[in-house]
Structures are given as structure tokens and as C-alpha cells.
């Protein structure tokens, strides 16, 4: 059986508000734009994307656990859970899939509480502060790792 050619795209709390939420920080593109950009970037490399956004931590954990069955990797913007959720970090570590962490804004130039990421040590790709186009960058880099074109 060949390896799956699917990525799980996870967007955490409040990312459903993209386009209207603090546009000076997050821009005017919407979650639909994010999902289209991600899907197009993956398709260009022969992968498909299953996208999920939730404001509920347990829903995100269940989707990450399920990804073990049919995904080759996970692209995640955990939103505020980046800085608070050990259980999200543990779920990502527990499924043993390569992970790309994405943040639209440059969290290191924001409030001090945003400077720590519980996801950072389990992610092999980090794309921070590139705006919504950063999702395409993260997908390309993650697929490079999955396909053996880059070290992870």
C-alpha cells in the first residue's frame, strides 16, 4: 500500500474570523482563502488537503488523532492554543506525523505571552509572519520533507 498523499490542515480558535478580525494584524483574506491557497499548493505537488477549523480544542485533537489513518502530514495554525495547550502539543507528538506550524503574524513581534509555542518542538517546519501566503510555503516545505526532498 502506498503512502497517503493527503495533508490535514488544522486552523484553531478564532481563525474562522479571518478577514474581519484585526485586519491590521491578520489582513483581509478569509479562512476560505486560506483553504483555497492550501489546497492549490498541495495539488500542485500531487497532494490533497482535508481542512478543519474549530474553536473547540477536543475537535482539533480528534481530527489530529484521525489523521494517523489517512494523512502524510499536518499543517497547523493553532491560534491562541499555540501558547496554552500542552494537550494539543501531545496530540501532534503522539500521532508521529510530520508537522508544519504556521502563524499569519510574526508572533515574536507581538505580546510577550505569544513568544512561546508549545507546538514548536514537535513541528519540523515553521512559517511565521508571512501572512496567509505562508500556508503555501508551509505546505511546500512539509511535502519536501514527506517526499524526501528535504530533511525533517
Residues 6 or more apart whose Cβ sits within 8 Å of residue 8: 49, 50, 52, 63, 64, 67, 71, 73, 74, 75
- Is 70 annotated as a binding-site member? no
Q: Is residue 103 annotated as part of the catalytic site, yes or no? A: yes
- One of 65, 103, 116, 126 is an active-site residue; which one? 103
Give pLDDT tens digits along the chain (152 positions): 467 899 999 999 999 999 998 888 887 889 999 999 999 999 999 999 999 999 999 999 999 999 999 999 999 999 999 999 999 999 999 999 999 999 998 887 887 777 889 999 999 999 999 999 999 999 999 999 999 998 76
Pick the CATH number of 6-146 from 3.40.50.9100, 3.30.930.10, 3.30.450.20, 3.40.50.720: 3.40.50.9100
- Is 62 annotated as a binding-site member? no
- pTM, entire model: 0.93
128 close to 108: Cβ distance less than 8 angstroms: yes
Burial class, 46, CB count within 10 angstroms (exposed 0-12 / middle 13-18 / buried 19+): exposed
Which cell goes with 123? Answer: 513541528
77 close to 103: Cβ distance less than 8 angstroms: yes
Q: Is residue 126 annotated as part of the catalytic site, yes or no? A: no
Amino acid at each position: 500500500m502506498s503512502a497517503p498523499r493527503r495533508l490535514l490542515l488544522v486552523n484553531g480558535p478564532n481563525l474562522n474570523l479571518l478577514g474581519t478580525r484585526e485586519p491590521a494584524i491578520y489582513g483581509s483574506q478569509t479562512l476560505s482563502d486560506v483553504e483555497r491557497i492550501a489546497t492549490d499548493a498541495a495539488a500542485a505537488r500531487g497532494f490533497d488537503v482535508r481542512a478543519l477549523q474549530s474553536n473547540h480544542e477536543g475537535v482539533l485533537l480528534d481530527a489530529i488523532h484521525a489523521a494517523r489513518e489517512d494523512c502524510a502530514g499536518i499543517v497547523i495554525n493553532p491560534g491562541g492554543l499555540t501558547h496554552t495547550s500542552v494537550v494539543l502539543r501531545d496530540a501532534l507528538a503522539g500521532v508521529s506525523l510530520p508537522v508544519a506550524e504556521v502563524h499569519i503574524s510574526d508572533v515574536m513581534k507581538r505580546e510577550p505571552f505569544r513568544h512561546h509555542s508549545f507546538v514548536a518542538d514537535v513541528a519540523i517546519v515553521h512559517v511565521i509572519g508571512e501572512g496567509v501566503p505562508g500556508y503555501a510555503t508551509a505546505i511546500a516545505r512539509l511535502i519536501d520533507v514527506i517526499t524526501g526532498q528535504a530533511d525533517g
